Amino acid sequence: MKLSGACLCGAVAFEGEGTGHFHACHCDMCLRWGGGPALGAPLTVSELRGEDALSVYASSEWGERVFCRTCGSHVFWRMRDGSQAFAFLGALDQADELTLSQEIFTDHRPKGLALAGDHLRLTEAEFLRSIGAGADTPD
């Protein structure tokens, strides 16, 4: 599925291929960084405009958060080795066409927050095992 998006101020814009799905992450870092779960869609970026307006925060040994340094919009979460990237739902033009397929770090989800639907739900330990990381590895 073709996806496109931009930051709030328009300094950054992108296009790429996605799966038609998005994931929700409830890890402590995502909750602190965004004030709620991070909602991101897997994306292979084919075009990126305004790369000079992006800032990168290496949030762990294996992940980094990419945001617009002008308006602060969250644009991507990606593996530091470049093997995987997710575009944040708020930056996508097609967000309403995507379906929630997975929640991770569900044992960190705030009480009272429940995402509806039938999709994969993994605790921190289950998720880290699924990617071959140790239980003490943060997002």
- 52-97 pLDDT, tens digit per residue, is 999 999 998 889 999 999 999 999 999 999 899 999 999 999 999 9
DSSP assignment, residue 36?
Answer: S
Amino acid at 74: H
Closest Cα to residue 40, out of 96, 86, 100, 105? Answer: 86
Q: Cα 90–65–118 angle (5° rounding)?
A: 55
* Domains in the chain: boundaries: 2-130
Cα distances (Å, whole numbers) of residue 92 to 22, 49, 120: 11, 14, 22
Residue 134: the pLDDT is 63
Tokens standing for 105? 């770090």
CATH of domain 2-130: 2.170.150.70
- pLDDT beyond 60 at 129: yes
Rg of the chain's alpha carbons, rounded to an integer? 14
**Do the bridges between strand 38-49 and strand 13-18 make them parallel or antiparallel, or are there none, so unpaired?**
antiparallel
What CA–CA distance (Å, rounded) separates 60 from 62? Answer: 5
- pLDDT beyond 70 at 33: yes
What are φ and ψ of residue 63, in 5° steps? -130, 155
